[in-house]
Chains A and B, each alone.
Chain A
Amino acid sequence: MKRIIATLLTSLCLGAGLTSTALASEGGIEWDRFPTHKMNDLAALQNGAKIFVNYCLNCHSANFMRYNRLKDIGLTEEQIKGNLLFASEKVGETMKVSLDPKQAKDWFGATPPDLTVIARSRADGAKGTGADYLYTYLRKYYRDETKATGWNNLAFPSVAMPHVLWELQGVRTAKFEEQKDPHDPSKVTHVFKDFVQVTPGTMTPQQYDESVADLVAYLQWMGEPAQGQRFRLGIIVVLFLLGFTVFAWRLNASYWKDIK
């Protein structure tokens, strides 16, 4: 992400101050690497879609994503209708949510953002892709009773969203170590040390990481369902142009051999 604040323009445009999203991407922790091989794994994408519909789609919409597009990751229309749709919904509809945005804001303090292109919007040129961020974020929740939701997140401090996947991961707390601020010895900073598992989840940590990777793969795919086709077509186009360049080069040479 390009970081620009115009000193000259500060007064014009930066009245509102930093948002919590900004704080999360600013400084903060290093992002883990999303296992990109999941993008070529239809089973992982389908599992991700299932987790998405069951856990995320209750509060978050995906307003630009049609259910029947899931056929692109190998699901049949019957599977989509049978497993992922409520009876009232049609397979050609987009992934809407019935949650009222005003109520959501009252409950959580923030409106849950639409997730259709979330993976594209969260990239940061210096830190990693949007998928890297989401993969990190969904694995960095811990119990924090000082927060209204009872949850906090290392990748997104004071996040409004509670840990929706907590049953899968179990309850963890975070251990912080007090350290003297190197710039100001009178201050003490809290440096993250480790997570402590309080109660086990229904999944082992490895299974949980796999499931989150599947979910993130799905989010990444949903951000641009044509991306696989784009890549495959690109290889053909570039190969064709390579051949055409050779042809154009030789054609040019045969015309220009007369020019002395």
Chain B
Amino acid sequence: MAEFKEISPNASAGAKLENWLHNRFPTAFDAYKVHMSEYYAPKNFNFWYFFGSLALLVLVIQIVTGIFLVMHYKPDAANAFASVEYIMRDVPWGWLIRYMHSTGASAFFIVVYLHMFKAMIYGSYRKPRELVWIFGCLIFLMLMAEAFFGYLLPWGQMSYWGAQVIVNLFSAVPFVGPDLALLIRGDYVVSDATLNRFFSFHVIAIPLVLIGLVVAHLFALHDVGSNNPDGIDIKAKDQPKDEHGHPVDGIPFHPYYTVHDMVGVSVFLMVFSAIIFFAPELGGYFLEFNNFIPADPLKTPPHIAPVWYFTPFYSMLRATTDVMVQVLCGVIAISAIITLLRGGLSTLGKGIVVVGAVVGIALLLTFDAKFWGVVVMGGAVIILFFLPWLDHSPVKSIRYRPDWHKYLYGIFVALFLVLGYLGVKPPSDAGTIVSQIGTLYYFGFFLLMPWWSKAGQFKPVPDRVTFHPH
């Protein structure tokens, strides 16, 4: 137990209160130091470093607006749609709360995608930050689940049929699929039972996990320290320190980054408010027009679209046709042959490669392309978890990588956006081919990273971070 401190009776009331609290709850004071006033962050953060704190802000917006929505929303197939309109009309400021929540959902994904991109280009997932990255990937996964469950709740046509389509994806899993889909729905079609369990997941289960993961993400980050655009570890042994042992290139998070993030928050809120107040539907992307028609199990809409933030992955699902499965078989065969030709493998190793390739191709041809589509879609998210071990580059930051690496990242981003665009469009022959190319590039980018990331002429990394005073 910490030492109990006495304070002079002449001290100010504020000092007395602080001492009283300090004697009874020192943990809070320690936490403030560790995470705020004495958390030394590199001083060379740039634009990309706003999105972490913005993600936290959006999480808080979603939780607070969510609490107020639940006060008036009815998770009941007969009343859900009406209760949302009740919130929009009869609840004082209900429209604002609802628009904040619906816009917040899309904003969350925008901010998180940009935050992930930052980690990718500056190598923030590399040793010793692997766990920070993995917690982040889990947050992304939970966020997708949270968005999916939440989207059913307004009980409009797109809510209903979107849920129907996504739950049916699980029925593609071999052997247990149909039972699994039944378990998720709680019924043979999406119904009141589904709405009730999705509501429970959306307001309790997933948010609890999400908050836990965010805490783990931040604790793990503050244990190992933040990366920065130069990828130089300011807390490393060879980095200069001041007389207290703090890194010279680090500055206390509070007040320096709190005031810094305030600028980012303000600009973000300006864009966020402009959407809420002037274009809450954002052309049908944030609130889909079809979702203003109450769910009708007997009337299938002609076009069922996931919300925009799922569409890159949805495109990969659609890209996995029978032809694509054959291409994947070819890719496996070619990679096995290359591995064998490169040599250096024992007889056992060669045997494993051959058996592995044969089993892989056999599995691809045994199960339906639909199932592999689901595997590809899921795999596109799961593969992110392995990024720390796929990247073999001798430098962390893209700044000191060969220029052609930058093009690879550029194409990666461009194709990800193209996949997203194609995912909101109806399928077409040309679109399918482009999305197949995009899918192959996406997986090739990650799976071939152990080879390409260490190739090329790297630039010398400076001794200290680059910083230009304001």
Contacts and interface: CB of A to CB of B under 8 A. Distances in A.
A13 B277 contact: no
Contacts of A125: 283-284, 289
B240 to A, nearest CB: 13
Interface string B197-229: 000000000000000000000000000000000
Interface stretch (B9-17, B317-325, B340-348): B317-325
Contacts, number: 177
A259 B43 contact: yes
Q: Interface size for chain A: under 10, 10 to 19, 20 to 34, or 35 or more residues?
A: 35 or more
B424 interface: yes
B259 A8 contact: no
Contacts of A3: 302-303, 305, 425-426
A116 B432 CA distance: 39
A203 to B, nearest CB: 31
| Residue of B259, B280, B294, B370 ringed by the most chain A CB atoms within 10 A | B259
B266 A245 contact: yes
Interface stretch (A83-91, A141-149, A223-231): A223-231
Main secondary structure of the interface of B (DSSP, over half): helix
A198 interface: no
A242 B317 contact: no
B412 interface: no
Interface in A1-37: 1-9, 12-19, 22, 26
Nearest to B294: A114
Contacts of A16: 298-300
B432 to A, nearest CB: 8
A229 to B, nearest CB: 8
Interface stretch (B32-40, B81-89, B111-119, B395-403): B81-89
Contacts of B164: 12-13
B88 A245 contact: no
Given A3-B303, A121-B289, A13 B89 contact: no
Contacts of A193: none
Given A64-B89, A252-B262, A259 B469 contact: yes
A253 to B, nearest CB: 6
Contacts of B320: 8
Interface stretch (A74-82, A158-166, A172-180, A233-241): A233-241
A256 B260 contact: yes
Interface in B149-183: 161, 164-165, 168-169
Counting contact residues on chain B (CB < 8 A from A), the size range is 35 or more
A140 interface: no
Contact of B256 (A66, A120, A259): A259
Given A69-B89, A253-B470, A245 B168 contact: no
A122 interface: yes
Contacts of B423: 4
B107 interface: no
Nearest to A65: B89
B259 to A, nearest CB: 5
Interface in A239-260: 241-242, 244-245, 248-249, 251-253, 255-257, 259-260
Interface of B: 43, 82, 85-86, 88-90, 95-96, 99, 161, 164-165, 168-169, 251, 255-256, 259-260, 262-263, 265-267, 269-270, 273-274, 276-278, 280-281, 283-285, 288-294, 298-306, 314, 317-318, 320-321, 369-370, 373, 423-427, 432, 467, 469-470
Given A3-B303, A117-B292, 5 more contacts: A5-B304, A8-B318, A121-B292, A237-B273, A238-B274
